[in-house]
Amino acid sequence: MLRLDKLVKTYKTGDQALKAVELDIPNGQVLALIGPSGAGKSTLIRCINRLVEPTSGEVWLGDTELTRLSPSRLRRERRRMGMIFQEYALVERLTVMENVLSGRLGYVGFWQSLTRRFPQKDVDEAFRLLDRVGLLHMADKRADELSGGQRQRVGICRALIQDPAVLLVDEPTASLDPKTSRQIMRLICELCAERGLAAIINIHDVALAQMFVQRVIGLRLGAVVYDGPPDGLTPDKLTEIYGEEDWEATIDKVDDEDEEAEAIA
């Protein structure tokens, strides 16, 4: 349903961030994109919604080739791609409710967006989503009063209220403590399952990726070097993706944290 065909990105600086990446993501599939800093994870998801323009190759969302669209068609298609960011990207001085509703800006008219008068059905949906992520009581709070985990929950609601076909998630937990990170990863994966949503989750924390997804893509220097289930990530494979490190310790840690995750759930 989302397909990348020979996707290449070479930045003006000459950095080859993506080297002919091929990737097929069926409807409803959640995958983790892992790899060291600089591997091309952010570039890959940004080339999908063309926040970064690919140098060559194709990106298909269903029957639409995103890489060919005019700016106005692209604006419309971007509604189908919800994005969640590491630093949340909330408007600090607006309320939680206003931040969630800003996810509808791609749908409402210009004047409506200026006055921020949203249809009642959007407001109702925003309340439903806030309730689902446990933030109903915070709807009127300003974004700058929230903790990191709460901010990311708002970011999740803002992406979901777009009613997207796919979620593009860039390091959602990199600014959070370990326990909150697990809660946020679990929440994103549960919501995708509930809604049959596909997602690409960029995450450098291997253990966290392994806990929650069925498919892992390993990226190294802009090329896919692993595509398979989390338990196929042997120390050799991890070394291929990340370079030399003692992976036995990380793999043991995954087993421990699995038990801990079950205890929290």
Ligand X SMILES: Nc1ncnc2c1ncn2[C@@H]1O[C@H](COP(=O)(O)OP(=O)(O)O)[C@@H](O)[C@H]1O
Where on the chain is the footprint of ligand X (CB under 6 A)?
A: 11, 13, 15, 17, 35, 37-43
Closest residue to Mg ion in the complex (CB): 42
How far is residue 153 CA from its own chain's centroid?
Answer: 13
Q: Closest distance between ligand X and the C-beta of residue 169, in Å? A: 12
Phi/psi zone of residue 38: left (φ > 0), alpha (ψ -120 to 50 degrees), beta? left
Q: Which residues contact 179 (CB under 8 A, 6 or more apart)?
A: 264
35 binds, among Mg ion, ligand X, none (CB under 5 to 8 A by kind): ligand X
Q: Closest distance between ligand X and the C-beta of residue 255, in Å? A: 26
**From candidates 7, 30, 34, 42, binder to Mg ion by CB under 5 A:** 42
- C-alpha 22/C-alpha 19 separation (Å) is 9
Q: Which residues contact 59 (CB under 8 A, 6 or more apart)?
A: 2, 3, 4, 5, 7, 47, 48, 65, 66, 67
Which residue lies nearer to Mg ion by CB, 42 or 67?
A: 42
38 binds, among Mg ion, ligand X, none (CB under 5 to 8 A by kind): ligand X
If 0-12 CB within 10 Å is exposed, 13-18 middle and 19+ buried, where does residue 63 land?
A: exposed
Q: Closest distance between ligand X and the C-beta of residue 219, in Å? A: 7
13 binds, among Mg ion, ligand X, none (CB under 5 to 8 A by kind): ligand X
Q: Closest distance between ligand X and the C-beta of residue 9, in Å? A: 8
Q: Closest distance between ligand X and the C-beta of residue 163, in Å? A: 27
- C-alpha 124/C-alpha 142 separation (Å) is 19
Which residue lies nearer to Mg ion by CB, 42 or 102?
A: 42
Which residue lies nearer to Mg ion by CB, 31 or 100?
A: 31
- C-alpha 50/C-alpha 44 separation (Å) is 10
Determine, following the binding rule CB under 5 A, whether residue 173 of this chain makes contact with Mg ion: no
120 binds, among Mg ion, ligand X, none (CB under 5 to 8 A by kind): none
Q: Closest distance between ligand X and the C-beta of residue 18, in Å? A: 8
Q: What is the DSSP string of 194-252?
A: HHT-EEEEE-S-HHHHHHH-SEEEEEETTEEEEEE-GGG--HHHHHHHH-S--HHHHHH
> Where along the sequence are the contacts to Mg ion (CB under 5 A)?
41-42
